Amino acid sequence: MRFGSHPRPAGRRLGAALPPAAVTLASAAAAFAADTVVLRVGDQKGGNRSLLGIAGVAKDLPYRIEGSEFPAAAPILEALNAGALDVGYTGDLSFLTAYASGAPIRAIGGTRSDARTQAILVRQDSPIRSATDLKGKRLAGTRGGWGQFLISATLEKAGIAPREATFAPLNPVDARGALMAGSVDAWAVWEPYASFATLKDGARPIADGEGLTPTITFIVASDSAIATKRVAVQDFLTRLNKARLWSLDHLDEYARNTAGLTKLPEDVVRAAYAAQRSSPVAIDDGVVKEIQEASDRATRYGILSRTLDVGRAVDRSFTAAASH
């Protein structure tokens, strides 16, 4: 028999053999599949989607999640900007940097972590003991995000002018290597990199983000998804908040699961989660004011290209809906 010689007759025979009720159900199923909302979610290995799964809140979704895994938050923001994703997540300053550049995105929710988990680390044998010792030093961190902001804020607090230290824009992997090799003197970073460097490399924290940075990780949605997939986006955010609360009471199980996915040492992940204590945060007046102050400082530091109205960068309606 030639390939494809009888597809149409076979199809007619199958349709004729089905009772009317079965044909109706098949048609309804096909229509439902066609109408099912697909939520395109950007994630990192061991991120939000795995948390939803282990927390048991990813069942009976009234939409389909199409997940894409990225190595870091920056490409998630790029994909959101390009219209390739509906929802993703990133740190507060990285979000503002993308928003300031014109990305059609809004922050719709998020989590807050202990600000001390953003830290400036030095090698165990470094002569640097405090922030005042950073004058004249070479400092590594991410450009346009938490790393650069923490360095700028720490220098300012210590009374050191920006020109009195050198900023080395490096991603966390390259920055860790540079610190261990001695080509930079200090490294501004966050979890789980901070716990890995302290537990496995013997690095020491000499300053942290307490009182300097909000340390909020935003859930970010594209303007298009907010307009056309609001119900699915709201449901996804609500489930994420439930999962995050679950994780606070199940740190060991959560850390073990993440370690298995990321291949990071379990003690590192457990230490990171215990230090962060990340919990859901509502985008209310207090958060908007806090992020506005950080945004204004970032503009003054030259991290942001322009002054922003943070109230326009967020969508509070998702928080309001979740509270009912």
d(CA 292, CA 255): 33
Phi, psi for residue 6 in degrees, rounded to 5 = -130, 30
Residues 304 and 182 in one domain: no
Looking at the structure, tell me whether residues 169 and 185 fall in a common domain: yes
Residue 50 resides in a domain? yes
Q: What is the CATH number of the domain that holds 91?
A: 3.40.190.10
Q: Pick from 157, 184, 208: which residue ends a domain?
A: 208
Domain range for 202: 116-208
What token pair was written down for 115? 């600000």
Same domain, 233 and 313: yes
Backbone φ and ψ for 186, nearest 5 degrees, come out as -155, 160
Q: What is the pTM of this model?
A: 0.84
In a domain, 2, yes or no: no
Q: Are residues 236 and 139 in the same domain?
A: no
Provide the mean pLDDT of the chain: 89
- Number of domains into which the chain is organized: 2
The DSSP bridge pattern shows strands 216-222 and 87-91 to be antiparallel
Residue pLDDT, tens place only, 49-104: 899 999 999 999 999 999 999 988 889 999 999 999 999 999 999 999 999 999 99
Instruction: Give the integer Cα–Cα distance in Å for 32 and 26.
Output: 10
Looking at the domain assignment, is residue 3 inside a domain?
A: no
Does residue 181 belong to any structural domain of this protein?
yes
pLDDT tens-digit readout, 210-256: 999 999 999 999 999 999 999 999 999 999 999 999 999 999 999 99
Same domain, 109 and 219: yes
Pairing of strands 166-169, 138-141: parallel
The answer to whether the CB of 93 falls within 8 A of the CB of 298 is yes
